[in-house]
Amino acid sequence: MAYTDREDLNYLGELFLVGAYMTPFLNMIGGLEGQRSKVSKSFIHPIAQPWGLSAASQPAISEAVSVAAQTAGTVIRAQDTNTVQIFQETVDVSYAKQSTIGEISGLSAVGDQPVEDEFGFQKAAALRQIALDADYSMLNGTYQAGANATTAAKMRGIITACLTNTVAAGGIDISKALIDEVLREMADNGAVFQNMVLLCNAFQKQGISDIYGYAPEDRHVGGVNIKQIETDFAMIGIVYAPNVPAATVLISDMDYVFPTFCPVPDKGLLFYEDKDATAASKKGQLYGQIGIDYGPEEFHGTLTDLSTS
């Protein structure tokens, strides 16, 4: 981010943040304040130790075999890992910009412009940007280990992680049959269905309301807004999440999803600190080492390649 100076103009009028800035997934798992979080002392951290049993079968063991020497079986375990990554935003506002809150551009009218503290405004905006980027990364991140100081560590998002339970729709509209198919895959692969939430973008949210909605006749009120669906395996909440890709639906067990932090000693999880300015400005940074722990990826599922028009 470039430093802020008097060329970044002030205007009259109420402030409104616009665009797809909401972070419902991040909020649901505890946000950036450390609620429900896990702490790691290294960037790469374990998130699950999966193991499984053999397929069910009927034993055929005779008395003679039962008293003979037996060959022991071994259950093999594995380890799933993820990494935290660096989130950093710098705020740098010139002294001149901080001083000239009365300089107004655009339409002139009676009144004061709403930003009386330029540095505070930029700092708050930087924090919102980190939250938005964290929400996006926790959903869609592509894994990259920070193998050395010049390689950026990048977390694996929960959507990217869903390899066991995923159904490719082939470009067709979302349907109950597709949702049933991915739920069936999840059940067959051991999902426990504790606290299920379906997260989707705007187009798929409307599609789900069309599928499951039933509006009783009324002369004054029409329409539906489906917020929960009953399925064969669990009640599933429906959440509009702007950072879920338009052609994708995520079904996640939120009891197993946590933000992960690798705290900086004497600083904390996500912190602000003033930095030495190089000249006539005030400078600071927001910094955190943040990731996601989604437990066994088999507890979640995705629908991909859905129609978006």
Whether 280 is covered by a domain: the verdict is: yes
CA 73 to chain CA mean position, Å:
40
**Which of 79, 48, 32, 80 is CA-nearest to residue 289?**
32
User: Do 134 and 119 form a contact (C-beta atoms < 8 A)?
Assistant: no
Find the domain containing 200 and state its range: 24-46+80-100+115-304
211 sits in the region (left: phi over 0; alpha: psi -120 to 50; else beta) called alpha
List C-alpha distances in Å: 212 to 52, 207, 230, 307. 35, 9, 10, 18
Q: What residue type is 26 in one-letter code?
A: L
Q: Which pLDDT score, from 0 to 100, does residue 249 have?
A: 98
Whether 70 is covered by a domain: the verdict is: no
Whether 92 is covered by a domain: the verdict is: yes
**pTM more than 0.85:** yes
User: Do 190 and 301 form a contact (C-beta atoms < 8 A)?
Assistant: no
Whether 299 is covered by a domain: the verdict is: yes
Q: Is 28 helix (H, G, I), strand (E, B) or coil?
A: helix
Whether 15 is covered by a domain: the verdict is: no
pLDDT in tens, the chain (309 residues): 578 877 787 777 777 888 878 999 999 999 998 778 999 999 999 999 988 888 899 989 888 998 998 888 889 999 999 999 999 999 999 999 888 887 778 666 666 778 888 899 999 999 999 999 999 999 999 999 999 999 999 999 999 999 999 999 999 999 999 999 999 999 999 999 999 999 999 999 999 999 998 777 777 777 878 899 999 999 999 999 999 999 999 999 999 999 999 999 999 999 999 998 778 999 999 999 999 999 999 999 999 999 998
Whether 296 is covered by a domain: the verdict is: yes
Q: Kindly state the tokens that stand for 251.
A: 């079904």
Whether 295 is covered by a domain: the verdict is: yes
> What CATH number should be reported for the domain holding residue 271?
3.90.1690
Whether 52 is covered by a domain: the verdict is: no
Number of folded domains that form the chain = 1
